[in-house]
Amino acid sequence: MRGLVALLAALSCAAPAGRAAAPGAALSSNAIKGPPPGAAAEASAAPAPPFDGSNKAPPAATRQPFPCAEDEDCGPEEFCGGAARGGGAPLCLGCRRRRKRCLRDAMCCPGMACSNGLCTPLEPPHGAAEPEETGTEALPRRTPAPAWIPTAKGEEGDFCLRSSDCAAGLCCARHFWSKICKPVLREGQVCTRHRRKGAHGLEIFQRCPCSEGLACRLQREHGPADPARLHTCQSVL
């Protein structure tokens, strides 16, 4: 009889314990599951991406940085940057655009230069104007030619400035309001004798002087009372 009572008491105590364990099992099934034991070790062992000190996004996973020794080893829009953390060879990095930090011109993209630590677009020279886009090719501007350029000795009737501009046997004399090359007077031709220096500048039709060895003198055939009083080129002998 005592053994039966002890068995019933043991069964009554075991039933509440089983019912209490059920809520605990349900709670553990809804709890946040942690990573597997080996996942933390694998995450900590992953290498850090290379850091070049810029604010650019890291390169895509499909593109592997190329090791380099100088800027010429990299592409046209790349430069040889710093190595990854922990040492190693430098890597080719993408060029930096406008207003990005730089240390040298090679770090900036084409068309820019490193100025005051920032990539700045290159400016055209001061005063240089960009050519306008037109349908035809720009022709060189022609400079206006001067009014008169002596290329050779002038002939009779050619415009001149001085007697040295005319050929041999000619002189530069006034004709209306300009000067032309006229023949030097020969013996017997009418000449103009100037009594005071500088008077020939008032003549509109100026004559050349007499040839060498001749002088402008009063013609002897005319008397002192002759109103013409012509002067001709006469021999000085």
Tell me the domains of the chain and their CATH numbers.
60-123 (2.10.80), 163-235 (2.10.80.10)
* pLDDT > 80? residue 85: no
Residues contacting 166, CB < 8 A, separation 6+: 153, 154, 155, 158, 160, 172, 181
Q: How far is the C-alpha of 70 from the C-alpha of 204, rounded, in Å?
A: 83
* pLDDT > 90? residue 125: no
Both tokens assigned to 71: 């800027």
Both tokens assigned to 197: 């220096």
pTM for this structure? 0.34
Where is 181: in which H helix or E strand?
strand 178-183
Lowest mean pLDDT among 42-56, 168-182, 218-232: 42-56
Residue 126's pLDDT band (cuts 50, 70, 90): low
Share of residues in the chain with pLDDT > 90 (%) = 23
Q: How far is the C-alpha of 231 from the C-alpha of 192, rounded, in Å?
A: 7
Residue 70's pLDDT band (cuts 50, 70, 90): confident
Res 204: pLDDT: 84
Residue 68's pLDDT band (cuts 50, 70, 90): confident
Count of other CB atoms within 10 angstroms of residue 101: 13
146: amino acid identity, one letter: P
Res 201: pLDDT: 55
Interval 160-200: pLDDT, tens: 999 999 999 999 999 888 999 999 999 999 998 876 665 55
